[in-house]
Amino acid sequence: MNMKQGNWKQKSLEKQLDFKKKLGLINNGKFKGVEYEHILSDEDALLGAMFYCYKDSIVWNELQTWASEVKGKKINFSGTGLKNMLRSEHIPYNFFHPLEKLRQTNPLKLIKFLHVLFDDKIQIDEVKSIKIEYASDLSSKDLLNDKTSFDVYVEFTNNSKLCGLGIEVKYTELSYPYGKSEKENLENKNSEYNKTAKKSGYFIEETYSNLRSKELKQPWRNHLLGIKLVELNYLHQFYSIHFYPSGNTYQNKVSDDYLKCLKPEFANTFIPITFEKFIQTAEEVFETNTFQDWISYLKDRY
């Protein structure tokens, strides 16, 4: 597979530095002792400058509490990933924390938003929870026996049956190198990856070498985690969502190539969604002024 990102990362860098300037931030952060403009200083990061609720101390505290409740410990918002403006770690908070607030205040409006976002391909009766960096309450040994988790996890019911969305978020990212244990799991025919994949019947057998490639291994692992939850009867149905900006043509190609590995009857369980479609849907569904500042932030930022 020949995939190139073009100048998307450079465009993103320029956009993020411009956004940083609009916020009036002048200090830079460091990575491995080197200072970078697109990394926030610890002070700015801990004040919430990476997030849509910057300078709203009440919502900033709510966001931190929400994040920590899932992990069971306080999240370090001055950690390298969460202060790097070109990484995707902060993005789930900016897109999905307002939806978590909506889940509590106007759940029917949230359901309408999700139905429109997914073109009614997913039927939702009630959203039970929205969580960041989450796999399930089960032990990793009961799942894929690794550290795979969803960037965003949405649990919901359909006809009184528990279902889930596992969302993988990308921004400027391409593929990443194989980890040692990951490589072993991909190659070992008796690993949970390969046993779960074959037992599920989701995948075209001739595409397994593609699924193990650097380009497709991450969407495959995330999808497998959800498939495993269905196999264990933890969930009735699972949908894997690949979420990225349209400018990242690399991730668009990843989505297209991954879909080619799925048997037609299971193609509906993997859904690519762009930032742009999310924002457009928000504009259509959320008419009130309450959401306009958030929507404007997303459009201006990404």
Over residues 137-177, the pLDDT tens digits come to 999 999 999 999 999 999 999 999 999 999 999 999 999 89
- Map residue 243 onto helix, strand or coil: strand
pLDDT of 1 strictly over 80: no
Residue 172: DSSP 8-state: S
Domain coordinates in residue numbering, the chain? 21-87, 108-287+294-301
Give the residue from 209, 220, 208, 214 showing the smallest Cα distance to 175.
Answer: 214
Whole-angstrom distance, CA of residue 1 vs CA of residue 16 = 30
Whole-angstrom distance, CA of residue 236 vs CA of residue 141 = 20
Hey, what are 21's tokens? 């300037």
Residue 237 parent element (H or E): strand 237-244
Please, what is the average pLDDT of the chain? 95
Give the DSSP per-residue string, 132-190: EEE--SS-GGGTTSS---EEEEEEEEETTEEEEEEEEE-SS----PPPHHHHHHHH-TT
Whole-angstrom distance, CA of residue 160 vs CA of residue 69 = 26
For range 192-204, the mean pLDDT: 97
Give the residue from 288, 293, 148 showing the smallest Cα distance to 218.
Answer: 148
Tens of pLDDT, residues 280-295: 999 999 987 779 999 9
Length of the chain measured in residues? 302
Whole-angstrom distance, CA of residue 181 vs CA of residue 101 = 37
Tens of pLDDT, residues 68-115: 998 888 999 999 999 999 999 999 999 999 999 999 999 999 999 999
End-to-end CA distance of the chain: 27
Q: In what order do the strands lie in the sheet with 270-274?
A: 126-134, 150-158, 161-169, 237-244, 270-274
- Map residue 263 onto helix, strand or coil: coil
